[in-house]
Amino acid sequence: MDYKPLSGREFPRFSGIKTFFRLPLADAKSDCDILMVGVPYDGAVSYRPGARFAPSQIREASSLGRGFHMTRNRNVFDLKKVADGGDCSVVPIDQTQTYEKVEKHFGEILSSGKKFIAIGGDHSLALPLLRAAHRSAGEPLNLVHFDAHLDTYPAAWNCEYHHGSFLRHAVEEGLIAPDRSMQFGIRGPLAGGEDLDFVRKHGIHVFTVDDVREKNLSEFLAKIPKFKGPTYITFDIDCLDPAYAPGTGTPVVGGLTTYETQRILRALEIENLVAADLVEVSPPFDSSQITALAAVDTLFEILCLMSAN
Q: Smallest gap, in angstroms, from Cβ of residue 238 to Mn ion?
A: 4
Our finding on whether 151 is near Mn ion (CB under 5 A) is yes
Rounded distance between C-alpha atoms, residue 298 and residue 211, angstroms: 21
* Stretch touching Mn ion by CB under 5 A, among 81-89, 139-147, 198-206, 294-302: 139-147
**Residue of 84, 103, 238, 277 interacting with Mn ion (CB under 5 A):** 238
Q: Tell me if 122 contacts Mn ion by CB under 5 A.
A: no
User: Closer to Mn ion at the Cβ: 114 or 149?
Assistant: 149
User: What is the size of the binding site for Mn ion (CB under 5 A)?
Assistant: 7
- Cβ proximity to Mn ion: between 236 and 297 the closer is 236
Interior angle at CA 238, CA 179 and CA 140, nearest 5: 25
Which of 103/280 has CB closer to Mn ion?
280
Among 236, 260, 277, 286, binds Mn ion (CB under 5 A): 236
42, 84, 122, 147: which one binds Mn ion (CB under 5 A): 147
149 binds Mn ion (CB under 5 A): yes
Contact call for residue 301 and Mn ion (CB under 5 A): no
> What's the min distance (Å) between Cβ of 291 and Mn ion?
13
Nearest distance, CB of residue 151 and Mn ion, angstroms: 4
Closer by beta carbon to Mn ion, 134 or else 168: 168
Q: How far apart are the first and last CA of the chain?
A: 22
Q: Which stretch binds Mn ion (CB under 5 A): 32-40, 143-151, 191-199, 269-277?
A: 143-151
Question: In this complex, which beta carbon is closest to Mn ion, that of residue 60 or of residue 195?
Answer: 195
| 241 touches Mn ion by CB under 5 A | no
**Nearest by Cα to 67 from 83, 59, 78, 55:** 78
Q: Which residues bind Mn ion (CB under 5 A)?
A: 123, 147-149, 151, 236, 238
